[in-house]
Amino acid sequence: MQLKTLADKKRLVLGLGQTGLSVARFLHQQNQQFKVMDTRQEPSGLDELLAINSDAYLVWNPQLFNEFDELVVSPGIAKNTPEILEAEKAGVKVIGDIELFAQVNQVPVIAITGSNGKSTVTELVATLINVSGKKALIGGNFGVPALDLVNQDADFMVLELSSFQLETTYKLRPIAATILNICEDHLDRYQSYQDYIAAKRRIYRNAETIVINHNDENTWSFGDEQISFAVISAATAEEETLDWVLDLVQRVIRHKDKTVISLAELSLQGAHNALNVVAAFALLDAVGIEINDAVLAAAKNYQGLPHRCQFVAEKNGIHYINDSKATNVGATVAAIESFAALFEQIILIAGGDAKGADLSALQAPLENQVSALIVFGKDAKALSLLLLDKSYLVENMAQALVKSQQLIQQNQWQNCLVLLSPACASLDSYKNYQERGEEFMKLARALAC
């Protein structure tokens, strides 16, 4: 599909990560002048950048910001950095890669955000569209950078968008958009929880249809425009008559008054993952994709993404599940509540860097549904205070798994879940959440041999 023409401007790309490189490639292809700055002396990707444009790289110097028309800020750099705010006040436009994408793209976009589950829903939506006979590509905060998709043929672009990307996006016009859920996260980056919510809600700007989560008022935002919307819900009462419903009583997914699929038919585990399927169906419905037999079969067989409530091993009734991607409180609460009905005991392994979040929302699920809490990492002590009588501080993952075995043997637990769902970021002890999850799986599988 023919792209819209990008306006000629002097652009400075801030940050040379995966996103910054995609911006450089795109601007070069569009014959646009640009420079790149990074705070690191030798950032990864520098050789690739210099191969694109040997004169593009500049040493970090905020005094030069005002010499450009636009700053294209990578998601890892806060928009409220004083030097960036100063440039913006001087009239320099501050945008991100998604804004550049929006300025040239003409393929219908399905836009997805949320504190938890957005990668799963993004991949699931694309998977279901592709079995329906249409073609969908994935990009944004998951998969490949959005700008790497602009020259590819597709019926839909399915974009996962972070709050960091949304706060520098203005012209995106999704055919359908959703906020799956919002809980406290990234409060080390935002001045308040409300600022974080406001950044997420930017996804609804200019959307043709929005899909809201009836169970989470933070996802409700309609602005002043008259737009259509669908409502998803986890229903606990028969009177729920919303558009798409996860019926937890009958254990089915319904569209209005019609049963679409039984939860027992889904490969995905947990109630929160079932709600992700509901959201995917609602988005497909919003863009005119029929939920036919092929789509239903693909939904049933979808296994999910690694490190997101991923089954690891089982031995003698002891199950191990890796939910290392649970880097905030809301994700861990969802995991606990999803598995509480399936196991007599849950041993929760948690900890890491809580990023300044309020941990109190964990207290009730811990007290009511967790048999033991094992914690390590930067904010382990704060987490242990939530379950004083049943919490155990250890030094690392290996000690956490050893402690779980001691508790199982001492109490003779048989239908027990050992759940890694940290409620915290991993960077205090690991390169990323993937490395944390891989270590848990390696140790758990050794125990289950």
143 and 272 share one domain: yes
For the chain, how many structural domains are there in total? 3
pLDDT at residue number 228: 57
143 and 279 share one domain: yes
263 and 133 share one domain: yes
Active site residues: 118, 141, 186
Among 95, 128, 152, give the residue marking a domain's end: 95
pLDDT at residue number 270: 82
Angle at 443 between CA 439 and CA 449, to 5 degrees: 145
Contact 375, 393 (CB under 8 A): yes
DSSP state of 204: G
380 and 415 share one domain: yes
pLDDT in tens, 342-375: 899 999 999 999 999 899 999 999 999 999 999 9
Contact 343, 335 (CB under 8 A): no
Which residues make beta-bridge pairs with 279?
A: none
Q: 385: domain CATH number?
A: 3.90.190.20
> What distance in Å separates the CA atoms of residue 295 and residue 138, rounded to the nearest whole number?
17
137 and 242 share one domain: yes
What's the one-letter identity of residue 444?
A: A
18 and 164 share one domain: no
- For 58, the domain range is 11-95
> What distance in Å separates the CA atoms of residue 433 and residue 184, rounded to the nearest whole number?
18
Instruction: Give a yes or no: residue 137 inside a domain.
Output: yes
> What distance in Å separates the CA atoms of residue 366 and residue 372, rounded to the nearest whole number?
8
Question: What mean pLDDT is reported for the chain?
Answer: 92
Does the CA dihedral 94-58-141-185 come out positive or negative?
Answer: negative
210 and 172 share one domain: yes
Contact 270, 335 (CB under 8 A): yes
pLDDT in tens, 96-152: 999 999 999 999 999 999 988 999 999 999 999 999 999 999 999 998 999 999 989
Q: 90: domain CATH number?
A: 3.40.50.720
- pTM reported for the whole predicted model: 0.87
Contact 359, 423 (CB under 8 A): yes
212 and 337 share one domain: no
pLDDT, mean of residues 190-198 = 91
- Structure tokens that stand for 376 in this block: 């390590």
pLDDT, mean of residues 245-254 = 88
Instruction: Give a yes or no: residue 5 inside a domain.
Output: no
Q: 176: domain CATH number?
A: 3.40.1190.10
Instruction: Give a yes or no: residue 281 inside a domain.
Output: yes
78 and 22 share one domain: yes
